[in-house]
Amino acid sequence: MKDRAKYSAELLFAVYTGAALVLLAVLLLVAPPDGNNHAQFLELLGRLHPLSVHLPIALLIFLPLLEIAGRNPKFSHVQAAARFTLGVTLVGAIAAAGLGWCLARAGGYAGTTITQHMWGAVAVGALSWVCWVLRRNPARERLYLGALALAVLAASFTGYRGGQLTHGENHLTELLPSPLRNWLGVPGKEAAGSSSAVDAGTWYGAQLRPIFEQHCVTCHGPSKQKAGLRLDSFSGLMRGGKHGAVLKPGDAKSSELFRRITLPPGDEDAMPPENRRPLSPAEIAVIEQWIAGGASATQPNPGGAPTPVAGAPVEVTILEISPAAVSAERAQLASAVAQLQQKLPNVVGYESRGSAQLTVQAAWMRARFGDEQVAALAPLAERIVLADFSSTAITGHSASAMAGMKNLRTLRLMHTSTTDATVQALTSLQKLESLSLFDTQVTPAALAALARMPSLKRVYVGSTKISPASAVPQELGHKLIF
């Protein structure tokens, strides 16, 4: 009796879910996404698609695990959960697919990627349903496992297509190291999107298309055509969108596209929309000039790389620091640096918050800083890029310690008792660019050693025995500052 009731409940479940799947397939046939935006209500629901889609995927991938682990007597209890999980997967897949249809229909999607994604989702639903039906009968276990494997495959395919829709065509492969990419035979980042032949010698091909590729085609391209606009080809650009043309050749100021990209970031019409990186002034200048120049597809590229117009503001980019990367880089030396900072507070510091290189500012300590302190820097010598020992009590005894600071770019020894012998020891500093010997004991005899330092750009030798009258080696010519 109880079995009967259970049976009829399961039958009902199968009928309802089966009907929902059929309904979904019909919806897809009758009202496929057509690249237009439809009812806002649909889009509101559709926005829930990314939210709901991950649970059924995860459960579906988890299922084989339950089934396999369940065969082991130790884990036999988990098998009991498999049927329930399968049921939730089925319902979840249908719900996610339904919401996905809402998004595709309302959000301006069209093209093969979305079609494959949607039918893939229907396949996932249908296969889950088949699994559900087959699993009832232990005699059909093999069939069931086969269907389950297919369902997992279908879900992977569908998920990949979905990823392409949101993150770009080659989101999984574009950042692969290039040898691996070549081996797999996938196009790299550079080659991406240039499938349709565009002459890189034209102004449009060399400068405009890369800008559109980078900023626009995610929403105005093959997979999405918001407002019916495609910017992935010249013809699409010229055709415009559902509100008409976006370009007026020869007149940037009255071109809708130019108006949109130059609106202040907060404006409702501004493009790219909020939270997307806006176009740089240089890119805007390129677009402006191209439109003003007639917006031609064939006009040759006027000048090399897209460079900002003369007089345009020069943008400064500040690199983001990744704290994890910084602490990883500093891991080896952090404790040594901390110790040294304890010993010599305000003398040793990191070059910047994003750097694992060190600067040594000892000039302020004057006579309290000497050879002993220089020696204390030894464990970190190769990390030091700038050292200012001006006005300190260091002597020739520190020469070898300084020679060990192989990565020094700037070294200041002014107002010290530095002699030619020290300078001669410093020839090992291959990266040294700037050396201040102002007010030291050096003589013209040190010039030969200075001439051997490959990276040296500026040597300050004022108030020393070196004068413009000294015999200066040719390599040093303009590098000496008296």
Partner 1 sequence: MKERAITKFHQEAYLAAMQAQTRRHFLRSFSAGVGAIFLGSLGASDRAFAGSREAALDSTSRIDITRDPRRPLAALPPQFAAKAKRVIYLHMAGAPSQLELFEYKPQLMKFDGQDCPASLLAGKRFAFITGVPKLMGPQYPFHQVGDSGHWISDRLPYLEKHLDDLCFIKSMRTDQFNHAPAQLLVQTGNARLGYPSLGSWVVYGLGTENQNLPGFIVLISGGNMPDGGKQLWGTGFLPSVYQGVQCRSHGEPVLYLDNPPDVSSAERRNMLDALDQLNQQNYAAFGNPETVTRIAQYEMSFRMQMDATDAMDIHKEPENVHAKYGSKNGESSFANNCLVARRLAERGVRFIQLYHWGWDSHGSSAGDSLNEAFPKRCREVDQPIAALLSELKDRGMLEDTLVVWGGEFGRTSMRENRGGQMTKFTGRDHNPGAFTIWMAGGGVKPGFTLGETDELGYEIAKDPVEVRDLHATILYLLGFDHHRLNFPFQGLDQKLTGVKPSRVVGEVLA
- Binding region for partner 1 (CB under 8 A): 311, 313-316, 318-324, 345-347, 349-355, 361, 363-364, 366, 390-391, 410, 412, 414-415, 434-436, 438, 458, 460, 462-463, 481-482
* Of residues 304 and 313, the one with the C-beta less far from partner 1: 313
- Identify the burial level of 422 via C-beta atoms within 10 angstroms of its C-beta, where 0-12 means exposed, 13-18 middle and 19 or more buried: buried
* Of residues 178 and 346, the one with the C-beta less far from partner 1: 346
* Of residues 223 and 391, the one with the C-beta less far from partner 1: 391
User: Strand 458-460 relative to strand 358-361: parallel, antiparallel, unpaired?
Assistant: unpaired
Least Å distance between CB 26 and partner 1? 45
* Of residues 5 and 314, the one with the C-beta less far from partner 1: 314
* Of residues 29 and 324, the one with the C-beta less far from partner 1: 324
Least Å distance between CB 402 and partner 1? 16
Least Å distance between CB 264 and partner 1? 9
Tell me the CA end-to-end span of the chain in Å, nearest whole number.
107
* Of residues 104 and 423, the one with the C-beta less far from partner 1: 423
* Of residues 184 and 469, the one with the C-beta less far from partner 1: 469
Least Å distance between CB 363 and partner 1? 6
What is the three-state SS of the chain? Answer: CHHHHHHHHHHHHHHHHHHHHHHHHHHHHHCCCCCCCCCHHHHHHHCCHHHHCHHHHHHHHHHHHHHHHHHCHHHHHHHHHHHHHHHHHHHHHHHHHHHHHHHHHHCCECCHHHHHHHHHHHHHHHHHHHHHHHHCCHHHHHHHHHHHHHHHHHHHHHHHHHHHHHHCCCCCCCCCCHHHHHHHCCCCCCCCCCCCCCCCCEHHHHHHHHHHHHHCCCCECCCEEHHHCCCCCHHHHHHCECCECCCCCCCCCCCHHHHHHHCCCCCCCCCCCCCCCCCCHHHHHHHHHHHHCCCCCCCECCCCCCCCCCCCCCCCCCCCCCHHHHHHHHCCCHHHHHHHHHHCCCCEEECCCCCCCEEEECHHHHHHCCHHHHHHCHHHHHHEEEEECCCCCCCHHHHHHHHCCCCCCEEECCCCCCCHHHHHHHHHCCCCCEEECCCCCCCHHHHHHHHCCCCCCEEECCCCCCCCCCCCCHHHHHHEEC
* Of residues 158 and 436, the one with the C-beta less far from partner 1: 436
Least Å distance between CB 260 and partner 1? 19
Strand order in the sheet with 434-436: 348-350, 358-361, 384-388, 410-412, 434-436, 458-460, 480-481
* Of residues 51 and 321, the one with the C-beta less far from partner 1: 321
* Of residues 19 and 481, the one with the C-beta less far from partner 1: 481
Least Å distance between CB 100 and partner 1? 30
Least Å distance between CB 417 and partner 1? 16
Least Å distance between CB 480 and partner 1? 11
Least Å distance between CB 479 and partner 1? 12
Distance of CA 313 to the CA centre of its chain: 25
* Of residues 94 and 285, the one with the C-beta less far from partner 1: 285
Least Å distance between CB 444 and partner 1? 18
Distance of CA 64 to the CA centre of its chain: 34
Helix axis angle for 334-343 and 323-330, nearest 10°, is 80
Owner of token pair 């050693």: 449
Least Å distance between CB 346 and partner 1? 5
Least Å distance between CB 457 and partner 1? 10
Q: Residue 126 half-sphere exposure, CB side, CA atoms within 13 Å?
A: 12
**Per the structure block, which two tokens stand in for 325?**
């990367």
* Of residues 207 and 390, the one with the C-beta less far from partner 1: 390
